[in-house]
Amino acid sequence: MSTETITATTDALRQARIAVLGYGSQGRAHALNLRDSGLDVVIGLRPGGPTSAKAAADGFSVLTPAEAVQGADLIAVLTPDMVQATLYNEVIAPNAKPGAALLFAHGFNVHFKTIEPRYDIDVVLVAPKGPGALVRREYEIGRGVPCLFAVHQDASGQAREKALAYAAGLGGARALLIETDFKEETETDLFGEQAVLCGGASELVINGFETLVEAGYKPEIAYYEVMHELKLIVDLLYEGGLAKMLSFISETAQYGDYTRGPRVVDAGTKDRMREVLKDIQEGRFAREWTAEHAAGLPNYSAYKQKDLDHPIEQVGSRLRARMPWLSSGA
């Protein structure tokens, strides 16, 4: 694996037909960028589905998933993780031609063997490191979002070239291409979501809010301190790492960071992060999530409702209504 500069063009897909299955945030961005890069793109969606009209309005030929897969040289699976196995078994496996490439933006189903691809097709991954809106916006202004890419199965002898061409079509070659494998992409992506970006950050915010309110401080002030102002810090970290964040906060805040932060997130936290990672690596999380989805999401729904009913959401809703710049994009 390497992070040296990798150059790529769309040449390997110049004569190919690309079937994009799914037209959500990533699906739409991928399809538009690939088309604007001169590639032949069709969209595969359920007839009458909520995104069919949007894809048609964007000027794409919208086919059923089976019709889109038949004859496609590359099939981009951009549907939610938990429906991909059924989509593969019922639509892709019976209709994909030998030598076609099957492309994912996240390796979950292949890595955890929920999908076991046919031996005669290429299996690759291209994962832009940003939401679909950013992937599209950066492309339109002549830049690109960095992409991870990987080859799981090379039936045609050209799988890597196809993955690089797809990444170039998205605009990723304008920024940075990093070669990885399905294991590394899947396990690090899940860990980031669970331990830091979603699970870790939201629990830190909720517990900070509860600590202040339980100590007698106004919920509104607690919300501003632990939720609202988090954006300032995240933006600074995003734009320039720890160095920029430290250069923009006060010396008082810096000293509190250095001396109190490790008391909150300590060696015990890191040990529990290792446990979360082990659950991912050994497949326990994947089995649990797959079973939860198959059961109709009873625990997922209860967890989500608990978050939505938390006092921080009630307070936040009232406060955000007084911040018109949030809806104006200012």
- The domains located in the chain, with CATH, are 11-181 (3.40.50.720), 192-328 (no CATH)
Q: Is the pLDDT of residue 328 over 70?
A: no
pLDDT band at residue 308 using 50, 70 and 90 as cut-offs: very high
Show the CA angle centred on residue 296, arms to residues 293 and 301, nearest 5°. 90
How far is it, in rounded angstroms, from Cα 31 to Cα 36?
9
pLDDT tens readout for residues 228-254:
999 999 999 999 999 999 999 999 999
Mean pLDDT along residues 16-42: 98
Q: Residue positions in the annotated binding site for NADP(+)? A: 23-26, 46, 51, 132
pLDDT at 327: 82
With bands split at pLDDT 50, 70 and 90, how would you rate the model's confidence at 5?
confident
Known binding-site positions: 23-26, 46, 51, 132, 189, 193, 225, 229, 250
> For the segment 98-112, what is each residue's pLDDT rounded down to a tens digit?
999 999 999 999 999
Check: pTM over 0.85? Answer yes or no. Answer: yes
Nearest to residue 77, comparing CAs of 37, 106, 98?
106
Among candidate residues 147, 142, 144, the one with its CA nearest the CA of residue 128: 147
* pLDDT tens-digit map of 141-181: 999 999 999 999 999 999 999 999 999 999 999 999 999 99
Asked whether the predicted pLDDT for residue 3 surpasses 60, the reply is no
Closest CA relative to residue 20, chosen from 65, 87, 85, 53: 65
For the chain, the average pLDDT equals: 96
Where do we find the tokens 């951009």?
A: 78
Q: How confident is the model at residue 4 (pLDDT cuts 50, 70, 90)?
A: low
Angle between helices 159-170 and 25-36 (to 10 degrees): 90
For the chain, percent of residues with pLDDT exceeding 70: 98
Annotated binding site for substrate: 250
Kindly state the average pLDDT of the residues 304-313: 97
Residues annotated as catalytic (active site), given as ranges: 106
Give rounded-to-5 percent helix, strand, coil for the chain.
60, 10, 30
Task: Check pLDDT > 90 for residue 10.
Answer: yes
Q: Amino acid identity of 234?
A: V
Confidence of residue 2 (pLDDT cuts 50, 70, 90): very low
Residue 47 has a pLDDT of 86
pLDDT score of 95 more than 80 = yes
Contacts of residue 19, Cβ cutoff 8 Å, sequence gap at least 6: 41, 42, 43, 44, 63, 68, 69, 72, 74, 75, 76
Query: What's residue 184's pLDDT?
Result: 98
Residues contributing to the annotated binding site for Mg(2+): 189, 193, 225, 229
Residue 329 pLDDT? 53
In contact, 151 and 160? CB cutoff 8 Å:
yes
Tens-place pLDDT, residues 260-288: 999 999 999 999 999 999 999 999 999 99
- What phi and psi, each to the nearest 5 degrees, are found at residue 218? -65, 135
